[in-house]
Copies of this chain bind each other. A is one copy, B any other.
Amino acid sequence: MALDEIDKKILRLLQQDAHYTLKDIANKINLSLTPVHDRVKRLEKDGIIEKYVTLLDKKKLGNNLTVYCQVTLTKQTYDTSEGFNQAILEMPEVVECNYVSGNFDYMLKIIIPDMESYHHFHQKKLSVLPEVSLINTVFVISEVKSTTVLPI
């Protein structure tokens, strides 16, 4: 499962654009179609390549507000955590949720149309969870960087 330099070149290209054709990639790295094809299939099978997705423009879809929620649970037990996790997985506006170290338990990232939507989310969906004790909101004023590209 070790990656050689050719694998890395392929991954770097595919991270940028999932619609590069095998021919595109083959040309860029000076190989024929066969090895590129075989390597991509291997990378998919090994799970290095997780999936191919389409990224949409959140603002053009009307999602003009991004916020981080720092959530503290009522109890630090397994059941409480699990209950919270399951609830979060059902909420489409929560695009990231991580259990973290520090003064609070979870860091959430929320993408939502506007402040009114956030008010509703906060009051009617998040704070009402029995597992939630405290919510501290950090509002995103301006996005500097957001990438799915991992360094290879």
Contact = CB atoms under 8 A, between A and B. Distances in A.
Nearest to A40: B54
A48 B56 contact: yes
A16 interface: yes
Interface size class of chain A, counting residues whose CB lies under 8 Å from the partner chain: 35 or more
A88 interface: yes
Contact of A111 (B55, B142, B146, B150): B150
B55 A97 contact: no
A95 interface: yes
Contacts of A51: 17, 54-55
Contacts of A96: 145-147
Sort A-B residue pairs by CB-CB distance and give the 3 closest, nearest first: A92-B151, A14-B54, A18-B52
